[in-house]
């Protein structure tokens, strides 16, 4: 009968290999016990990892949609805040211009015109609001500044008015500049996108439209009314009666434009509500998926603890055997 033997070095290598395997099992079980999840998912699921992979894919999609939804929520919030400031300024200017009456002095009318000119600067600044260097009121064109500066706007209109100093002539030029779809505000005043409204996909089946652009008729009407009086500051020789009539017409236009701005705010509010509902639904889906993942890969604490104690005992026994074998000598062996 033949006897197969191994050398000391081979025995030492085999011993180290067994020790490493036991320590690896010990580390995996310790990690599973502390985290509550198994370390080897494939082995735990007996190789049937299709459902686990599908759930993780869905969670990754929800994370991407969640990021898009948060960015969209920021855009809508800034747009709503900007429209609120825009409408508040419109209301303040309206209240001031409504005080101009037929008996108002030239100084009072001039003061109202100065206020309208200053308000126009702020109105345009609100429309040119940017977040993370992206224009809010320019539609899909987020790079360009949506509206030209107020002084440029006034300059173009003054040039178009020319020497005319009558109310009818001035009002006709301003109305044409803002309402003509082939010129004026549409081509030189507004520099944003004029195509479909900016839309953001926030889930597999839902999109949110950001319907707030500086070329909206409601926005244009407010600017037109403000310019109607603000332009008088750049028209030397304009009579007191014409300037007073411009102030009264501007007040009327600002008052009538309130409903349009409110409707624009309502559209943004509707988009915010839709987004909020979608985000709540995605949060619920994410919770459900994470619970499903936990059910698939959660480690039984009692079973894991029992196996951990067994592996600890196995490791201690291994070291005990190794220690005794290291003390063998030929004298003890024979």
Its sign, for the CA torsion 181, 184, 185, 191, is positive
pLDDT digits (tens, 9 = 90+) for 7-52: 555 655 566 666 566 566 556 656 555 555 555 555 555 666 777 7
pLDDT digits (tens, 9 = 90+) for 245-262: 999 999 999 999 999 999
Name the nearest CA neighbour of 78 among 127, 128, 121, 131.
Answer: 131
Rounded Cα distance between 248 and 97, Å, is 7
Q: Is the pLDDT of residue 59 over 60?
A: yes
Name the nearest CA neighbour of 84 among 38, 126, 36.
Answer: 126
pLDDT at residue 250 in the model: 93
288 φψ region: left (φ > 0), alpha (ψ -120 to 50), beta (else)? alpha
Instruction: Name the burial class of residue 327, with classes exposed (0-12), middle (13-18) and buried (19+) by CB atoms within 10 angstroms of its CB.
Output: exposed
Instruction: Name the burial class of residue 296, with classes exposed (0-12), middle (13-18) and buried (19+) by CB atoms within 10 angstroms of its CB.
Output: middle
Query: In the CATH scheme, what architecture does the domain 55-286 have?
Result: Up-down Bundle (1.20)
Rounded Cα distance between 234 and 266, Å, is 36
Highest mean pLDDT (candidates 29-38, 217-226, 230-239): 217-226
pLDDT at residue 53 in the model: 78
pLDDT at residue 90 in the model: 94
Rounded Cα distance between 59 and 31, Å, is 24
Per-residue pLDDT, averaged over 80-101, amounts to 93
Q: What is the pTM of this model?
A: 0.74
Mean pLDDT, the chain, as a whole number?
Answer: 81
* Residue 290 CA: distances (Å) to CA of 32, 45, 203: 17, 17, 18
283 falls in which pLDDT band (50, 70, 90)? confident
Residue spans per domain, the chain: 55-286, 300-334
Cα distance between the two ends of the chain: 21
pLDDT at residue 196 in the model: 82
**Half-sphere exposure in the Cβ direction for 236 (13 Å, CA):** 0
């Amino acid at each position: 009968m033949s006897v197969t033997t191994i050398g000391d070095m081979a025995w030492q290598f085999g011993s180290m290999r067994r020790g490493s395997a036991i320590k690896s099992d010990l580390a995996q079980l310790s990690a599973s016990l502390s985290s509550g999840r198994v370390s080897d998912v494939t082995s735990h699921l007996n190789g049937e990892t299709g459902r686990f992979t599908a759930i993780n894919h869905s969670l990754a999609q929800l994370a991407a949609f969640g990021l898009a939804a948060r960015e969209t929520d920021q855009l809508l919030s800034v747009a709503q805040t900007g429209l609120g400031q825009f409408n508040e300024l419109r209301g303040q200017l309206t209240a001031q211009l409504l005080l101009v009456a037929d008996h108002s002095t030239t100084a009072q009318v001039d003061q109202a015109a100065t206020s309208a000119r200053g308000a126009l600067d702020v109105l345009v600044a609100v429309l040119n609001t940017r977040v993370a260097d992206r224009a809010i009121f320019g539609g899909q064109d987020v790079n360009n500044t949506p509206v030209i500066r107020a002084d440029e706007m006034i300059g173009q209109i003054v040039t178009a008015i020319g020497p005319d100093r009558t109310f009818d002539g001035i009002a006709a030029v301003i109305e044409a500049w803002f309402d003509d779809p082939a010129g004026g505000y549409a081509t030189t005043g507004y520099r944003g996108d004029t195509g479909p409204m900016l839309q953001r996909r926030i889930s597999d089946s839902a999109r949110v439209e950001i319907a707030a652009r500086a070329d909206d008729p409601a926005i244009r009407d407010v600017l037109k009314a403000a310019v109607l009086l603000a332009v008088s500051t750049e028209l030397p020789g304009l009579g007191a009666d014409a300037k007073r009539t411009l102030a009264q017409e501007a007040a009327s236009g600002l008052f009538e434009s309130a409903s349009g701005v409110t409707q624009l705010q309502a559209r943004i509010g509707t988009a915010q509500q839709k987004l909020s509902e979608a985000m709540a639904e995605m949060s619920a889906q994410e919770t459900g998926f994470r619970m499903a993942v936990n059910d698939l890969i959660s480690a039984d604490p009692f079973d894991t603890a029992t196996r951990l104690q067994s592996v600890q005992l196995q490791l201690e026994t291994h070291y005990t055997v190794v220690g005794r074998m290291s003390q063998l000598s030929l004298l003890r062996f024979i």
